[in-house]
Every structure is written in structure tokens, then in C-alpha cells.
Structure 1
Amino acid sequence: MNEIGISLDTVWMLLAAMLVFWMQPGFALCEAGFTRSKNTANILMKNFVDFMFGSLLFFFIGFGFMFGSEGAGFIGMPNWGDLSFYSGDLPVEGFLIFETVFCATSATIVSGAMAERTKFSMYLIYSAAISLFIYPIEGHWTWGGGWLCNDAADSFMMSTFGDVFHDFAGSAIVHSVGGVLALIGAIVLGPRIGKYSEDGKSNAIPGHNLAMASLGVFILWLGWFGFNPGSQLAASGEVNRIAISHVFLTTNLAAVAGGTATMFLTWFKYGKPSLSLTLNGVLAGLVGITAGCDLVSPMGAVIIGLACGIVLVYAIEFIDHKLHIDDPVGASSVHGVCGILGTIMTGLLSTSNGAFYGHGWGFFGAECFGILVIDLWAAACGVVLFYGIKKFHGLRVDKRIEEEGLDVYEHGEMCYN
């Protein structure tokens, strides 16, 4: 029976990995649809590169950084392609694939905020850096047995908060990190030509294909049913069956609540329900529930989704109109702001140790502290990485290339004829 259970768990993990991999075309179509047609081939190419580079670099080095046992809980050791260091019930090759698709997702988030004006050669560098050490190191702190999840009685987290940081599927580890890096990258790049008038007014630059963006969001929604339930890493036995079913439900409820909240808010604010913002509202709900999808009740999932769907609209407005940071797809709001919000709300709405359920504020403090240090790490790495590239080689394409489109100049071909 044990062998049958391990076999079922392995098949479920690999199926979930396939669903998370399917999020790559979702991101590609979503980003391409939200931007202009003259840059579509460039955007599709970048999404392929994220997975190609991410798979190789995570296999050779990043997997060891994330799950290696060395480093006193702050960093593992590079494995140089040797997987023998890892021991677990599930096959290491399957676990590596599952973790690889998560790593690629973190890198892909950054692409959208820096779309339509980034040199492809420089994109290769920062995509590699994210997969090589930025994501694996902070991932080690929680998922790799590091200091944020060390539940020993004398550990820092237990001594300080009486609880450890919890991020079930990556609101913080994947999404907020990608969102913070996206924000830093967009700041360093500067806005697209024509985005802001001399008087500071923000000018809309519509995407070329909302049908493509909508299909991308539907694909991402489907992929999230591997992203969240798959993080249980087991399907055999009554406990796992119940857990997976619960996570499926909370994931979907947060998504629909996020989309509904954004739809009605935009209808109220702008006089018409916005499709593009509603698409991001669905994603905001999905991002927000990812940290606590295993701990919150179905009603808690709805609350998180509603909160993220509402906050998203104001976050996009603030970043665009007040800070004058040009993020073509809203990645810093969807993944950054809502990833942070969802993680924090897990500390409030967890039925087992949340503050709103009478369990005190220790777990909430652990969630706030964890998201803070994870995103400070991402921000520090982003500043060094993007400003370093800008200073030593240049991060942005020339004005003529940006105006005429990156497809021909960067790749010698166009997506549309």
C-alpha cells in the first residue's frame, strides 16, 4: 500500500508540474495581449527564454541553493547538476521538475513590467540571475528548510513570534518577489516613449489584443490548480484528498471574488466595467490566496479575493498616476502588492493560528516579518542587478528601436505580417 501511495503522490506531483508549466503560455499570451503588436515576437521569445534558462540554471546550481542542507539555514550549496544530495520519499527528478516550473514563474513575472523597451541581451542576464540565485536563496529560507521555517524551540522565529513563516504555494516566495523585481526594473528602465506628458499626465497605451490576454488569464487560472493544490505534493490518503479538495475550492473562490470586486469597482469608478482590469482582478485574487489556500476557510478565501481585487485597482492607479512608473501589464500591482496583501491576510484569517480566530498575533507577526525580509532581499538584488546592467552595458533599447518595435530589430522577424 505504501508503494501505491508513493506512486499516486508522484503522478499527482508530475501532473501538477505540467499544469504549472502550462502557466508559461498563459503569461506569454497575457503579456503579449496587453502590449503592442510590434513587440509580440520579443515578448513570446522572452517567455521561452525564462523557462529554458530557468530549467538549466536551476538544475545545475539553483536547486542546490534552495534545497541544499549547508549554510546554517540562510543558503544551501550549489549542486552542479548532482541530485544525490536530496533525500525524500518522492523521486528527486520529479521534485526537481516541480520546483523548476515554480522558479520559471518568478522570472516570467518581471518580463511584463519591463516590456516594449528592454534589450533582449540584457533580459537574458537578469532572467538568469533570478533563476540562479535571487529566487533559490529566498526560497531556501522557507521551502528549503531555512531560518524562516525553522520550528525548533530555540530558533529565531519561534523565540520571536512563537510561530514560523507560512507560504503554502508562493504568494511571497514567487509572486511578491517577482512583483518587487518588476517594480525595480520598471523604475530603472523609465517609462515608454509617450507614456507621460510634460505636465505629468499618464497617457493610456492600449494593448493590441484583449482576446489574447483573456485566453492567457484563463490558461493561468487553469495552471493555478496545479500551482496551489500541487503544493500539497501528495494525493494518497484521506488527509491529502481533503487537503487538495480544500485548496482547489479556496483557490477558485478567491479568483472569482477578485475578478468580481474589480469588475464592479471599475464600473463604479469609470462608468463601465473594464475587461483588462477585471482580468488582472482575477489574477490578483489568485496571487493573494496562494500563501494561505491551505489554512483559510472558503469564506476567508472570498474575503482575500475581494480585498485583492479592490486594492489592485488603487495600486495600479497609484503606481501609474502618482509614482509615474510605467508597468504595461500591472505586474508590480498584481504580483507584488497582492502577493504581500495575501501573505499578511493569511496571518489574520488562518483558521488554525490566525489572529481573527483568537490565536493571538504571533503568526501574524511571523507573516509580516517573513514577507518583509523576503521582499527586502528581492529589492536589494533588483537595485544591484538592474542599475549594474544599466551602468555597464545599458538596459534599454535605442529610441528608434522602441518606436518602430523590438520584433524586427531584436529578432529579425515579426509576429504579424
Structure 2
Amino acid sequence: MKIPTFVSAARASAGMLALTAFTAMPAWAQDAAEGAAEEAAEAAPQFAAAADTAFIFNTLLFLMGGFLVMWMAAGFAMLEAGMVRTKNVSIQLTKNIALYAIAGLMYWVIGYSLMYVDVGSYFGTFAPYSFDPVGLEGADTAALLETGYSTASDWFFQMVFVATAASIVSGTLAERIKLWPFLAFVVILTGILYPITGAWTWGGGWLSQMGFSDFAGSTIVHSVGGWAALAGAILLGARNGKYASDGSVQPIPGSNMTLATLGTFILWLGWFGFNGASQLAMGTIGDAADISRIFANTNLAAAAGVVAALVLTQILYKKVDITMVLNGALAGLVSITAEPLAPGPFAAILIGAVGGVIVVLAVPMLDKFKIDDVVGAIPVHLFAGIWGTLVVPFTNADASFGTQIVGIVAMGLFTLVASFVVWFIIKATIGLRASPEDEMAGLDLAEIGVEAYPEFSAGR
């Protein structure tokens, strides 16, 4: 995603100006003054119409893209509900709707201004964000057209991205973290941590000034969420019974692969808004063509991630693992997110396929370190996000490997260290982890008192 400053209205107006200038050239010198005045008067409404049209289409792109990315919240909820055991489904659903609501509030209270308003090198201002001026007459209309889009639509589109980062943390820490400590972390992540690293990049801060390139957020959104999840997983520890005393890994199957698959398809669909609307403009033919190309590359990368995971699990384990295949799709999507416009079809397929391979190889690697990631979010969002950001210079000549590495390391270190500090403070004050008894009984009953599948409970 670029810094949210649009040029589409200017492009449209410039094109109309050029056309008007050409048609206004007088056939005879003696008619020049009179002809120019007449043409200027006739062209004025056309200039306004071009700017209005660009404004409408740019705003519509933000809103439609925001709708699709908001729908990804449902995808995360369904994916997590399918990947956890039946006794922990209701709490995962509760966490997902709660984190989306908290993200929406915190991004208005402080997050957006911190990320985009008067950003210096590191962050913006600490204040609630103000939307469009009220009314559409006179100076207000001119102020709106100056931006080229509705500022409220921009805020909405940016807000759903921060909710995505928080959803990544939810899946990793499932089945053993208590509800309120998790939500306390979400407040800090969505209100402060994510906006600060976002200000460094999309807000025009120091990484942006260096030339760091991350079109729709492989690192800025996905790796940041992955680093926050990794810090929490290390401090929280693994689920009881996940790792035996002899070092072996005990599989803990999810409850519903139907829901997990539905969630993956919803996320896949939502990603077209995630990547496509990050073009940030739809006021010209060129913008519309670029958005179409982004859609095609996004789909190709996801498909390649699926096939790569499908084939590799068959080779390594002699049978296909549906959870790896689902995460292969998501890893392909995360991988192409850093640069979905510049690659050709073959490059998009290769980028997505490597993402699928990363998932299959990274999951057992985490198990060796006894890092328990319930849904595989760290391989998908952190590792594939790093890969996608590193590979940008292969297809985008404006990016450099050195700058990409600096951006990855800087955002990674900041988020990991800051998240550790926040998680540690929460752990030392109100605690993080459910008791062994509550974990055994399931957090649906222990934390919220509502079971997702009560007819399957003992004694019913």
C-alpha cells in the first residue's frame, strides 16, 4: 500500500486540460483570444466532472476494498473455529468479534492519527481522527476534491487492515490464553504498536524515505502480526499435552475442517480487497487495469501455494494434510502481498509456491523449538511475509534488497521487543494463561460459559 495521497483526480483533470488545450488551438490567429475564452468557459464543467468522477471511483475503491477486508474477519473466525477443539470454539469466535471492534475503536481514538497525521520520521499525532468536513458546498467541496478521495473511506480501509494484524495473534495463542489479557494486548497492538511501524512506511516515515517497498503489507501487516504472535507464544507456553517429556510432538486435531476450509475461502476472497484496493486509486483506465492485474496475480499466487503444499506433504508424509493445504493458500496470498502488481504470471506463481513450501517446512521447525502455534499463523504470516518482502526487488526495479532487509529487521525487532514487554507486563499483573483445570475443561465453559457444541458435552 502506498502513502494515501491520490493522483487520479489530478491525472483525469490533466488529461482533460490537455484535450481542451488541443481542441482550443485556433485555426486563425485573429480568433485566438475569443476562441480561448469560449473554450475555457466550456471546459470548466468538464474539469469539475473529471475531478468528481475520480473522487467517486477512488472513494468507492476504498469502501469496496474495506468491505472485503472486513469480511476477512469472518474468515479468520471460521478458520480458527475449525482449527481448535470443540471445547474452545466459542471463545475463539468471541475473541475475533471483540478484537475487530476494539481495533475499530482504537484506530479512531489514536491509531490512524499516529500512523498518518503529521508524521515526522517515526510517528504522527496522539489524537482522535477527524473525518471529512460536513457538507458539500463551496470550500468543503474543494477541500474534498483536493485529496481525491473521502477521508472517511480511507480511514475505514486502513482500519480493517489493523484488525487483520490482531486476528493473526488470536489464532496462534488459542486454547490456553485467557480472554481479557488477550484483549488488553489487542488494545496496545491496534492503537500504538501497529500504527508506529505503519507510520515508518505507509505514513511517510523514515523507512518510506529510504525506499522500502511493501505494496499491501506482507511485512507491515502480516509479519507485524506474526512477530506479536511469536512473542506471546513464547511467554505463554505450549498447550498441555502438546509436547511430551521425551521430546515427541503430540498432534491435537482441530474440530471442524469444514469450517477451516470455509474460512480459508473467505480469506482468499477478502484478499482481492486487501491487495486490489491497495492500488489506492481507480479514477483512470490505468488504475483499473492495474487493479485487474493485481487480482490475477493474487489468485495465481494463492493457487500455487495450495499446489505446492499439496505435493510437498504427499512427498514428505505419504499423505496430504488438509491443514497444510489450507495454510499453503494463505501463505501464497501473504507472499504476493508485498508486490502484487509488478510480477508477471510466472513470477506470481513462483512467489506463491515458495510460500506454500515455507509453511510445510516451518511448522515442524516450530515444534522443534516447542513453540505451539495452533493455526499455523507464524509460518503463514511471519515467515511467508518475510519471503514476500525480500523478493520484491526481483520484480520491482525501484526496490533494493538492502532497504528491504532493513525494513524487515527494523519492524521485526521493534514489534518483537515491544510485544514481549507488553505481554510480560500483562502476565505479571493480571496473568495470561488459563489454569490447567480450565484448559482441560475448555475455555468455552471456563471463560465465557457458552459452549459451541453443547450436545456433544459429557453427560448430555
TM-score, structure 2 normalization: 0.84
In the aligned structure 1, how far is the partner of 2:199 from the partner of 2:237?
32
Q: Which residue of 1 aligns with 2:393?
A: 347
Q: What is the CA distance between 1:241 and its match in structure 2?
A: 1.2
Equivalent pair of 2:106/2:190 in contact (CA under 8 Å): yes
Q: Which residue of 2 aligns with 1:101?
A: 160
Equivalent pair of 2:305/2:355 in contact (CA under 8 Å): yes
In the aligned structure 2, how far is the partner of 1:409 from the partner of 1:311?
36
In the aligned structure 2, how far is the partner of 1:228 from the partner of 1:195?
36
Q: Which residue of 2 aligns with 1:127?
A: 186
Out of 34, 45, 53, the residue aligned to residue 102 of structure 2 is 53
Superposed, which structure 2 residues align to 1:366-405 within 5 Å? 366-405=403-442
Query: Do structure 1's residue 82 and structure 2's residue 130 form an aligned pair?
Result: yes
Q: Secondary structure at the match of 1:202?
A: coil
The aligned amino acid for 1:396 is R
Query: Do structure 1's residue 187 and structure 2's residue 234 form an aligned pair?
Result: yes
The aligned amino acid for 1:253 is L
Q: Which residue of 1 aligns with 2:74?
A: 25
Q: Which residue of 2 aligns with 1:337?
A: 383
Q: Which residue of 1 aligns with 2:208?
A: 149
Q: Which residue of 2 aligns with 1:42?
A: 91
Superposed, which structure 2 residues align to 1:308-319 within 5 Å? 308-319=355-366
Equivalent pair of 2:363/2:376 in contact (CA under 8 Å): yes
Out of 439, 443, 447, the residue aligned to residue 410 of structure 1 is 447
Residue-by-residue CA offset, 1:95-130 (whole Å, 9 max, x unaligned): 110000001001110001100011111011001111
Q: What is the CA distance between 1:84 and its match in structure 2?
A: 6.9
Equivalent pair of 2:106/2:187 in contact (CA under 8 Å): yes
Q: Structure 1: any 5+ residue segments left out of the alignment?
A: 151-156, 158-163, 355-362
Residue-by-residue CA offset, 1:32-65 (whole Å, 9 max, x unaligned): 1011010111000000111100001101110100
Equivalent pair of 1:60/1:82 in contact (CA under 8 Å): no
Residue-by-residue CA offset, 1:216-239 (whole Å, 9 max, x unaligned): 000000000000001112222121
Q: What is the CA distance between 1:83 and its match in structure 2?
A: 4.1
Equivalent pair of 1:63/1:78 in contact (CA under 8 Å): no
In the aligned structure 1, how far is the partner of 2:87 from the partner of 2:178?
15
Q: Which residue of 2 aligns with 1:208?
A: 255
In the aligned structure 1, how far is the partner of 2:398 from the partner of 2:343?
10
Out of 265, 280, 284, the residue aligned to residue 218 of structure 1 is 265
Residue-by-residue CA offset, 1:175-208 (whole Å, 9 max, x unaligned): 0011111111111110101101111111000000
In the aligned structure 1, how far is the partner of 2:385 from the partner of 2:284?
31
The 1:91/1:84 distance shift into structure 2, 3 A limit, reads closer
In the aligned structure 1, how far is the partner of 2:116 from the partner of 2:122?
11
In the aligned structure 2, how far is the partner of 1:319 from the partner of 1:254?
24
Q: Which residue of 2 aligns with 1:154?
A: none
Out of 263, 286, 301, the residue aligned to residue 254 of structure 1 is 301
Equivalent pair of 1:14/1:94 in contact (CA under 8 Å): yes
What is the identity percentage for the equivalent residue pairs of Structure 1 and Structure 2? 42
Larger Rg: 1 or 2? 2
Equivalent pair of 2:290/2:341 in contact (CA under 8 Å): yes
The 1:381/1:280 distance shift into structure 2, 3 A limit, reads same
Query: Do structure 1's residue 173 and structure 2's residue 220 form an aligned pair?
Result: yes
Q: What is the CA distance between 1:400 and its match in structure 2?
A: 0.7
Equivalent pair of 1:179/1:332 in contact (CA under 8 Å): yes
Q: Which residue of 2 aligns with 1:303?
A: 350
Equivalent pair of 2:169/2:229 in contact (CA under 8 Å): yes
In the aligned structure 1, how far is the partner of 2:405 from the partner of 2:289?
28
The aligned amino acid for 1:105 is T
TM-score, structure 1 normalization: 0.92
In the aligned structure 1, how far is the partner of 2:334 from the partner of 2:261?
17
Q: Secondary structure at the match of 1:185?
A: helix
In the aligned structure 2, how far is the partner of 1:412 from the partner of 1:405?
10
The aligned amino acid for 1:323 is F
Equivalent pair of 2:132/2:152 in contact (CA under 8 Å): no
* RMSD over equivalenced CA pairs, Å: 1.4
Equivalent pair of 2:111/2:192 in contact (CA under 8 Å): yes
In the aligned structure 1, how far is the partner of 2:111 from the partner of 2:333?
26
Out of 270, 275, 279, the residue aligned to residue 228 of structure 1 is 275
In the aligned structure 1, how far is the partner of 2:422 from the partner of 2:247?
28
Equivalent pair of 2:261/2:326 in contact (CA under 8 Å): yes
Q: Secondary structure at the match of 1:228?
A: helix
In the aligned structure 2, how far is the partner of 1:188 from the partner of 1:111?
15
Q: Which residue of 1 aligns with 2:39?
A: none
Equivalent pair of 2:300/2:348 in contact (CA under 8 Å): yes
Q: What is the CA distance between 1:82 and its match in structure 2?
A: 3.1
In the aligned structure 2, how far is the partner of 1:24 from the partner of 1:115?
16
The aligned amino acid for 1:381 is A
In the aligned structure 1, how far is the partner of 2:443 from the partner of 2:154?
37
In the aligned structure 2, how far is the partner of 1:383 from the partner of 1:8?
42
Q: What is the CA distance between 1:275 and its match in structure 2?
A: 1.1
How many residue pairs align between the two structures? 394
Residue-by-residue CA offset, 1:356-414 (whole Å, 9 max, x unaligned): xxxxxxx1111111111011111011110112211222100111110000011111111
In the aligned structure 2, how far is the partner of 1:67 from the partner of 1:300?
32
